[in-house]
Amino acid sequence: MLRRLLSPFRQTTGLARWLLVVGLAIVVVFVLCAVFAPLIAPYGFAQVDVDGVRFPKMSPPGPGHILGVNDQFFDIFSRVVWGARTAITVVLLSVLLSLVAGVVLGLLSGYVGGWLDRVLVFTMDAMYAFPSLLLAIVFSFLLGGVLGSGVVSAALSLTVIYIPQYYRVVRNTTVSAREATYVEAARAIGASNVTIMSRYLFTNVIGSVPVIGTLNAADAISTLAALGFLGLGIQPIDAAEWGYDLSRALDDAASGIWWTGVFPGLAIVLLVTGLTLIGEGLNETVNPTLRKRRFAPITLPPRGPVQAPDLEEEVSA
């Protein structure tokens, strides 16, 4: 089973393979930073002193603080490493929740149809019409008063804006697949609607979802940073967040202090780039019309010397 699932990745060659490999390498580095943040970061994300002695404010990169210190006495390297954990956690939660909700609603809407389909299509189209950042800001306001300004609140704010994308893809695929021959055969043998949707339709409509998930993950990093930049995301005492650190570095840039904004911004750019490369590579790898396969070399047997026909044998015959 695993061999069959991985066969497209082993057979792919050309640019798609390199996009996937480079993107995975970048993302793996950030995932390792997120998992092993307590071991990699020399200080806590909100730590400002050691043994009662405060870090030197706005200290440039050097011994003890390899990426410098910002205006809040935070070690920038520790904030970048802990920020990887925050970004990966929020992205995983938001993508998984939106994927589950979008796929389930899309299957129900496409297969059941009727008034349920009309209501869901209208709701999702109305949500899709809003700019994603504006919708995230609205839900961040609404959820901030209930859940606070932590990781869960930020993840739910991002979840809402990605549900319509999964819903539209799954719903449209389900509408075209529900009249297929194998679905009619399943109905004929007495399969229930739940069985048809879970065993027959689900595996056929889920193909393009991983590609959407990786691209949404890249967009979620940018949206999370934008919320933090506007002061509506995760607060510094709850978790390290790159967008918030960038907003604090705006005034520093005018004074020639570059290290407080360069490193959080570089982390955002690298992680978004890695996830985007994975999405593009997956799109060309999973889609059979775009995939370039690696073919085995063809070897022909060596040709022997050509023998002239025996004229005497032909005349006697």
Q: Where are the domains of the chain?
A: 12-47+68-300
Q: How far is CA 57 from CA 20, 48, 176, 264, in A?
A: 41, 9, 61, 17
What is residue 297's predicted lDDT score, i.e. its pLDDT? 58
pLDDT tens digits, 163-216: 888 888 888 888 887 777 777 787 788 777 788 787 778 877 777 777 788 888
DSSP assignment string, 274-286: HHHHHHHHHHHHH
Q: What is the mean pLDDT of residues 76-84?
A: 92
Q: So what's the pLDDT on residue 205?
A: 76
Residue that has been written with the tokens 């943040």 in this structure:
37
Question: What whole-number distance in Å separates Cα of residue 108 and Cα of residue 130?
Answer: 24
Contacts of 308 (CB under 8 A, 6+ apart): none
Contact 133, 226 (CB under 8 A): yes
Structure confidence at residue 26 (pLDDT): 93
Give the mean model confidence (pLDDT) for residues 263-271.
92
Instruction: State residue 310's pLDDT score.
Output: 56
Secondary structure of residue 264 in the 3-state scheme: helix
Task: Report the chain's mean pLDDT, rounded to a whole number.
Answer: 81
Owner of token pair 């870090």: 55
CATH number listed for the domain at residues 12-47+68-300? 1.10.3720.10
Write out the H or E segment, with its range, that includes residue 53.
strand 53-54
